[in-house]
Amino acid sequence: MARLKVGIIFGGCSEEHPVSVKSAQDVARNLDVVKYEPFYIGITQSGDWRLCDGPGSGWEEGNCRPAVLSPDRRVRGLLVLDQGRYEAIALDVVLPVLHGKLGEDGAIQGLLELSGIPYIGCDIQSSALCMDKSLAYLVAGSAGIATPNFWTVMADEEIDPDRITYPVFVKPARSGSSFGVSKVSRKEELLSAVETARRYDSKVLIEEAVAGSEIGCAILGNELDLIAGEVDHIALSHGFFRIHQEDRPETGSDNSVAIVPADIPEESRVLVQEKAKAVYRALGCRGLSRVDMFLKEDGEVVLNEVNTFPGMTSYSRYPRMMAAADLPLAEVIDRLVSLALTGKLR
């Protein structure tokens, strides 16, 4: 039986390029090469596309050829430059292992829609919606899901520090991980925090801090057919949770530990999973997402954000939550491929 040809896109131009490469390395380690024939497409930080042997260390200097994903549906795959001529390589499915801008915001999804190749993960609309935290809050709030109180600040817009209730978190509205995020406890700190966030996005989100535990839930599936992974809980020793900011995140964080399964009551665990599914459906997600929330002392669950292609590294939260629910990464990949090709979990 012929193997499925899987295009695995990784790297990218965003600040999350290094995390994407590490995610792709773990995907490669868990990909069943008996079932799948992988084609690794690395995007450099300057935006060059290259077909390479894999996402290992130093992949950019390895055996790479210039390649592009063709938007022409007659190709339905890659155009690879070889000795001055383009060779067409058809693909059965694409796995975009990309995080942040141009990876989770609908950009790559738009190119994949043009190409006609089935792909894993959220579509253009849900990717763009979840990437913009303020829009995600508006849609989720209209579906009856609790969100933090928030304000948005557009490019060059002035903000009056006296109209804000402190403490708040100031963050880029359309960016991933914790890049450009600041906690502000006094009005004198606000304008500086806004300028920090503007380094990553012209649109800035100011949200009222929620007093509660930071929790997350991994979701897999489409529409009504969803699987929830185990809930995790971020235990902080000090400060606030800053994902992917460490020099060596695989060795652990200096102020947080992700506890899986979360050390919360069973009724809270079930509620978190159901709320995560409700958020996922309200925002139109498909394939996979990690829904981050707050669990307040009174039991209320409040949305934090949705990651439409969460990290897949050995230390990332999504695969750890799924593994705790007896779904190792190899099986998650199998199910994601099935969802992309048939729309159904197998």
Domain spans in the chain, listed from the N-terminal domain onward: 4-119, 128-146+211-342, 150-208
Q: In the annotation, is 277 catalytic?
A: no
Q: In the annotation, is 99 catalytic?
A: yes
DSSP per-residue codes, 36-69 = EEEEEEEE-TT--EEEES-SSTTGGGSS-EEEEE
Q: Which of 6, 12, 17, 22 is catalytic?
A: 22
Q: Which of 17, 99, 275, 286 is catalytic?
A: 99
Q: For the chain, which ranges sit under pLDDT 70?
A: 177, 237-255
Structural contact between residues 278 and 231, judged by C-beta atoms closer than 8 angstroms: no
Distant-in-sequence, close-in-space partners of 196: CB < 8 Å, separation ≥ 6: 170, 180, 182
Q: In the annotation, is 171 catalytic?
A: no
Q: Which of 87, 157, 195, 250 is catalytic?
A: 250
Q: Which of 19, 93, 181, 184 is catalytic?
A: 19
Residue 84 is predicted with a pLDDT of 86
Q: In the annotation, is 266 catalytic?
A: no
**Superfamily assignment of 150-208 in CATH?**
ATP-grasp fold, A domain (3.30.1490.20)
128-146+211-342 topology per CATH: D-amino Acid Aminotransferase; Chain A, domain 1 (3.30.470)
Cα–Cα dist 229/92, whole Å: 27
Q: Which of 311, 318, 320, 335 is catalytic?
A: 311
Q: In the annotation, is 244 catalytic?
A: yes
Q: Which of 277, 290, 317, 335 is catalytic?
A: 290
Residue 245 is predicted with a pLDDT of 46
Q: In the annotation, is 174 catalytic?
A: no
**pLDDT digits 0-9 by tens, 241-277:** 555 544 555 545 555 788 999 999 999 999 999 999 9
Residue 327 is predicted with a pLDDT of 98
Residue 238 is predicted with a pLDDT of 45
Q: In the annotation, is 22 catalytic?
A: yes
Pick from 272, 140, 285, 279: nearest CA to 221: 285
CATH code: domain 4-119 is 3.40.50.20
> Could you tell me where the beta strands, DSSP code E, fall in 44-196?
49-52, 65-69, 77-82, 85-90, 93-97, 150-153, 168-172, 182-184
Q: In the annotation, is 19 catalytic?
A: yes
